[in-house]
Amino acid sequence: MAKETAIVTDLSGDYAMVKTQRTSGCAACSERNLCNTMGGGKDMEFLAINPVKARLGDTVLLDFKTSRLLQLSLLLYIFPIIVLLIGALVGESIVAPAYGIDRSAGAAGTGFAAFIVSIVILLLLERRAKKTDKYKPVILTVKKPGTAPSSPEECDHKEKLREKS
């Protein structure tokens, strides 16, 4: 399991929007594009499950299930290649002789078509994965309570102080 420290920036029911800094481990993550990079820098913001009821401004410890991330990586990178190769073999050995076309053209055409189908399958799986909590990080604990305002009135008061200065 990968652990990461983040700050809670927003709350919504059983979820929290958290902000953390992009690390070198992010480069290998298949879900790196689901995290929002803020301002093109190293800060990222994404949704996490909040079973510990962390509050706005809290510094929290997140848990990313590395086995699930590995699953996604394999699916994202290996599945299209395997489907492409199977499509090329089918095109060369079955489609080309059946339609009397060049074996290389049959392999290329069927392999490319199979690759496109694999991408469509991945996009459909991504939609389904976004609807489940299976791949979302989980807040394990609050490391440091935040200094976020506890009421809307306190927010308005701080806003007015900023305007005066």
CA distance 55 to 9: 9
Q: The tokens of 18 are what?
A: 């958290």
Per-domain boundaries in the chain: 2-65+136-148, 70-129
120-154 burial, b at 16+ Cβ within 10 Å, e below that, comes to eebeeebeebeeeeebbbbbbebeeebeeeeeeee
At position 142, the amino acid (one-letter code) is V
Q: Do 15 and 54 meet the contact criterion of CB atoms below 8 Å apart?
A: no
Pairing label, strands 2-12, 59-64: antiparallel
Domain 2-65+136-148 has CATH 2.40.50: yes
CA distance 68 to 30: 10
CB neighbours of residue 46 within 10 Å: 17
Of 5, 1, 32, 31, nearest in space to 18 by CA? 5
CA distance 139 to 49: 6
Digitized pLDDT (tens) for each residue of the chain, 165 residues in all:
689 999 999 999 999 999 998 765 566 555 555 554 445 567 889 899 999 999 999 999 999 888 887 888 889 999 999 999 999 999 999 999 999 999 999 999 999 999 999 999 999 998 998 888 888 999 999 999 987 555 544 454 444 434 443
Of 135, 145, 129, 132, nearest in space to 52 by CA? 145
Q: Whole-model pTM?
A: 0.62
